[in-house]
Amino acid sequence: MGKSLRKFLDGLYLAGGVVAALCLIAIVCLIVLQIASRNIGFAFRGGPDYAGYAMAAASFLGFAYALNHGAHIRVSLLVAALGRYRFWGEVWCYGVGTAITSIFAWFACKFTYESYKFNDISSGLDATPLWIPQLSMSTGSIILALCFWDNLVTLLMTGSPNVRETSVAEQGED
């Protein structure tokens, strides 16, 4: 039971990352289309808006995947200095993280539902009903909150979170 749940959750975070990656590819394609439409002269409306939606999706769906790989930046100086009390420092961090991401997920869903209910339309040339691209925000924020709950519970039960803390050097980006 525990093992298959673990597999499912890690798979879910990875799936978010893969969809985010597809969105990056989509951004490149949209930009190329945009340039082509300008130079060859066929109509392609709302390219920048669609690229923006793909950008948002790439971010929100990638959040949990990045967290699970220890890619999100934090100031770990103090936590590392806690020594044998580190566990409690981590509980605080994951606790606060869980609270914030849960609030975020709640409001993201509420807001997306309201755009659907009041039928908000993008003010750009694309005229997309906004709830469709905003689904990426609500989905991504739920996965992120889930990832935090998962890590908090894992931390409390096993003494260490599920996040694989890669060394800073391996993250390699700044």
Partner 1 sequence: MEQLVAIAVFLGILFLFLGSGVWVGLSLMGVAYIGIEFIAGRAAGGGMINTIWGASSSWTLTALPLFVWMGEILFRTRLSEDMFKGLSPWMARLPGGLVHTNIVGCTVFAAVSGSSAATLTTVGRMSIPELRRRQYPEHMVIGTLAGAATLGLMIPPSLTLIVYGVSINESIRELFIAGVIPGLVLAGMFMAYVAIYSLVSPSYKPVEEPAMGFAEKFRNSAYLIPVVLLIFLVIGSMYYGITSATEAAAFGVLGALALAFLQGSLTVSSFSESLMGAVRTSAMITLILAGAAFLSLAMGYTGLPRALADLIATMELTRFELLMALLVFYIILGCFLDGISAVVLTMAIVEPMIREAGIDVIWFGIFVTVVIEMAQITPPIGFNLFVMQGLTNHQMNYIAKAALPMFAIMVLMVFVLIAFPELATWLPDTIRQ
* Residue ranges that bind partner 1, judged by CB under 8 A: 17-18, 20-21, 24-25, 27-28, 31-32, 34-35, 48-49, 51-56, 58-60, 62-63, 65-67, 69, 71-79, 89, 92-93, 96-97, 99-101, 103-104, 106-108, 110-111, 133-134, 137, 167-174
Instruction: Tell the smallest beta-carbon distance from residue 2 to partner 1 (Å).
Output: 26
Instruction: Tell the smallest beta-carbon distance from residue 43 to partner 1 (Å).
Output: 18
Instruction: Tell the smallest beta-carbon distance from residue 158 to partner 1 (Å).
Output: 19
SS3 161: coil
**Judged by CB, which is closer to partner 1: 34, or 156?**
34
**Judged by CB, which is closer to partner 1: 5, or 96?**
96
CB 148 within 8 A of CB 72: no
Instruction: Tell the smallest beta-carbon distance from residue 1 to partner 1 (Å).
Output: 29
**Judged by CB, which is closer to partner 1: 65, or 162?**
65
Instruction: Return all residues near 40 (Cβ < 8 A) that are at least 6 apart.
Output: none
**Judged by CB, which is closer to partner 1: 5, or 32?**
32
- Torsion, CA 106, CA 112, CA 115, CA 118, rounded to 10: -60
Instruction: Tell the smallest beta-carbon distance from residue 61 to partner 1 (Å).
Output: 8
**Judged by CB, which is closer to partner 1: 9, or 135?**
135
> What would the two tokens of residue 50 be?
């669609």
Cα(22)–Cα(77) distance, integer angstroms: 35
Question: Which residue spans within the chain are E strands per DSSP?
Answer: none
b/e burial code for range 68-95 (CB count within 10 A of at least 16 → b): bbbbeeeeeeebeeeeeebeebbeebbe
